[in-house]
Chains A and B, each alone.
Chain A
Amino acid sequence: MAVEMHPNRSIVDALGADLRARAHGARRGVYLYFRCLGQQMKAIMAYETDFIVLLLSAVLVQLAGFAVIWAIFQRIPSVNGWTFWQVVMMYALIFVTEGVGSLFFEGTWRLSSLVYTGQFDQMLLRPVSPIVQVLAGAVGFNGLGNLVTGFVLIGIAVTNVPVEWTPGRLLMLAILIVSASVIRVAINLASAASTFWIRSPWSMVPMFVHRLGDFAKYPITIYSYAVQALIVVAVPFAFVSFFPTAWVFGVDAWSLPGLLTPLVAIYAVLMSVWLFRVGLRRYESSGH
């Protein structure tokens, strides 16, 4: 949205117009995102048993992981000072954010095949940001199963720890969950953008990065410094699960970085959009 500088307009007016144009662009982006996603939903609803089975299977996968944590804590009271419900909270946050990613932003997983087959060209021809189109490109209904089970686990976890629930704390919990989801989706988008460099329909980078999330299902204090650096700095999965949990449960040693989660979310979005745009500039349609 370029803004024309009118000679008789002050710089403040111009900035205002620019901001209004940007806000309009953002609103339109959101509107179009939901329109695209709606079409994907219709396509999936055509096979209703498929999505019910997918949903149930996601619940089963989560219960399997939960069973492991539960079985371990049947034998021991705490792992490295972390209690059962704290670990459950970390585990649940990984799944809730994964659910948000699958349900609303599954399209990132299709990017490499779109680029490989050249279908990505279509997205560049439309007057909508390719990022919006990629994000809205698919719906993963298993995400709903992850969301529901994840929230149930979070609900049980937060009622089982001695924390006083003030309105401020509840609000912060909501902010942390939203931030964690944003970080998760940004990581997905950034790793999907790797396809602009690695031109293969079998690009391993997105799955590789996604699987790093396995580390963040447990307290990061159990890992060596190398693994900690990997999931705190390189790919910030620790801000999806560990640090928010530490803040919510008031674990003093680690709760301060938890407050930084919203900032990390903003940083992750900026980085992933930047990476995507740099990659996009390298894009050549297949066959060239």
Chain B
Amino acid sequence: MSGLRKYVSFARTSLEITFVYRAGFVLNMIGTIFYVVAMFYLWQTVFLGNPGSLGGFTWPEMKAYILVSFLLSSLLTWYDEWVMSQDIREGYVAVDLARPFDFQASRFARAMGPIIFEATSAVGVAAVVALVFGGAALPADPGRAALFVVSCALATIIKFGLVYCVSMTAFWTTSIEGIMVGRSAIQNIFSGALIPLVFFPDWLQSVAAVLPFQAMISTPALVYLGKLDAQSTAVAIGVQVVWAVGLLFLGRLAFRQAVKVVTIHGG
């Protein structure tokens, strides 16, 4: 049990750090909220001109979609990724390498520490936005809501797996800032974060289908809205599991290679 305890303390410390630097956290959320509100107005106008549904989405469903996307984007924020790559770049990682714990597991614990705080804040903000804009669609039944929570949990693990892999590039390059911005741009397109993937042409949808990004936002959002039948839901969640395990494994592989090349400043 003591094995687990050290990771719990990583998580707790990380939560405390988030509280100390809560300004950074609030900043990140405000940054997204303006965009969310702008999208709400944009879609509101679009639906006013086209009553009924667009791409299979009604206005209340679209509102819910945007808010689910906002919620998932508020988990595991930029802060974790930045800290991880800076630790590598600045050489603090040397201390971690010398200590008796698993590097990936410790980073996972740190990333997950603030997650309840992030989730509750985001749900609160989303609820306010939904109320201002006259409500949004809710999951049809408790079973669907439970599936949504499972899908969100998997999406968060996938996000960690991806962020971890991206951070590993800091062992080889100093261009981490650009790589991170690029990662988030590609993710925004292919995850369905900005617009449901069904709005894209077929070829772009096919590309998105084979990438891990759609499992990060599109899948949980579609599960929430009940856009998938029982069989497709099972497949979609199965795909999420595969990506979660795959990316975690890839991260471990990258780390094993990385420690061979690592040179810490000062020799």
B-contacting residues of A (Cβ < 8 Å)? 47, 49-58, 60-61, 63-65, 67-68, 71-72, 74-76, 78-80, 142, 200, 202, 204, 207-208, 211-212, 214-215, 217-218, 222-224, 227
The reply to whether B188 and A64 form a contact with Cβ atoms under 8 Å apart is yes
The reply to whether B23 and A215 form a contact with Cβ atoms under 8 Å apart is no
The answer to whether A60 and B182 touch (CB under 8 A), given A204-B26, A211-B31, A218-B38, is: yes
Partner of B185, one of A49, A61, A71, A207: A61
The reply to whether A56 and B178 form a contact with Cβ atoms under 8 Å apart is yes
In the complex, chain A residues whose CB is within 8 Å of the CB of B177 = 50, 54
- Taken residue by residue from 35 to 55, chain B's Cβ proximity to chain A (1 for < 8 Å, 0 otherwise) reads as 101100110111001100011
Cβ of B194 within 8 Å of any chain A Cβ, yes or no, is yes
- Taken residue by residue from 162 to 197, chain B's Cβ proximity to chain A (1 for < 8 Å, 0 otherwise) reads as 000000000001110111111011101100001100
The reply to whether B182 and A74 form a contact with Cβ atoms under 8 Å apart is no
In the complex, chain A residues whose CB is within 8 Å of the CB of B34 = 211-212, 214-215
Question: Nearest Cβ in chain B — how far from A180, in angstroms?
Answer: 19
Bound state CA distance, A49 and B178, in angstroms? 10
The reply to whether B24 and A202 form a contact with Cβ atoms under 8 Å apart is yes
The reply to whether A204 and B23 form a contact with Cβ atoms under 8 Å apart is yes
Partner of A57, one of B45, B55, B185, B194: B185
Partner of A68, one of B30, B184, B195: B195
Bound state CA distance, A60 and B199, in angstroms? 19
In the complex, chain B residues whose CB is within 8 Å of the CB of A64 = 185-186, 188-189, 194
The reply to whether B30 and A58 form a contact with Cβ atoms under 8 Å apart is no
The reply to whether A72 and B199 form a contact with Cβ atoms under 8 Å apart is yes
The reply to whether B24 and A54 form a contact with Cβ atoms under 8 Å apart is no
The answer to whether A63 and B178 touch (CB under 8 A), given A68-B194, A211-B31, is: no
The answer to whether A222 and B21 touch (CB under 8 A), given A60-B182, A207-B30, is: no
The reply to whether A218 and B42 form a contact with Cβ atoms under 8 Å apart is yes
Question: Nearest Cβ in chain A — how far from B250, in angstroms?
Answer: 21
Residue of chain A at shortest CB distance from B48: A80
In the complex, chain A residues whose CB is within 8 Å of the CB of B201 = 74
Cβ of B27 within 8 Å of any chain A Cβ, yes or no, is yes
A-contacting residues of B (Cβ < 8 Å)? 21, 23-24, 26-27, 30-31, 34-35, 37-38, 41-42, 44-46, 49-50, 54-55, 173-175, 177-182, 184-186, 188-189, 194-195, 199-201
Q: Is the interface of B mostly helix, strand, loop or mixed?
A: helix
Sampled A-B contacts (12; CB under 8 Å)? A47-B175, A54-B181, A60-B181, A61-B185, A67-B195, A202-B24, A204-B23, A207-B31, A211-B30, A211-B34, A215-B38, A217-B38
Partner of A200, one of B23, B42, B179: B23
Partner of B45, one of A75, A80, A207: A80
Residue of chain B at shortest CB distance from A62: B185
Partner of A222, one of B35, B42, B50, B180: B42
Given contacts A67-B194, A75-B50, A211-B30, 18 further A-B contacts (CB under 8 A): A50-B175, A52-B175, A52-B178, A54-B181, A57-B180, A61-B185, A63-B189, A65-B194, A74-B201, A75-B55, A79-B49, A204-B26, A204-B27, A214-B34, A214-B35, A218-B38, A218-B42, A223-B41
Residue of chain A at shortest CB distance from B24: A202
Bound state CA distance, A80 and B45, in angstroms? 7
In the complex, chain B residues whose CB is within 8 Å of the CB of A57 = 178-182, 185
Partner of B27, one of A67, A74, A142, A202: A202
In the complex, chain B residues whose CB is within 8 Å of the CB of A67 = 189, 194-195, 200
Bound state CA distance, A56 and B180, in angstroms? 11
Residue of chain B at shortest CB distance from A219: B45
The reply to whether B46 and A72 form a contact with Cβ atoms under 8 Å apart is yes
Bound state CA distance, A72 and B201, in angstroms? 11
Question: Nearest Cβ in chain B — how far from A281, in angstroms?
Answer: 26
Bound state CA distance, A67 and B191, in angstroms? 13
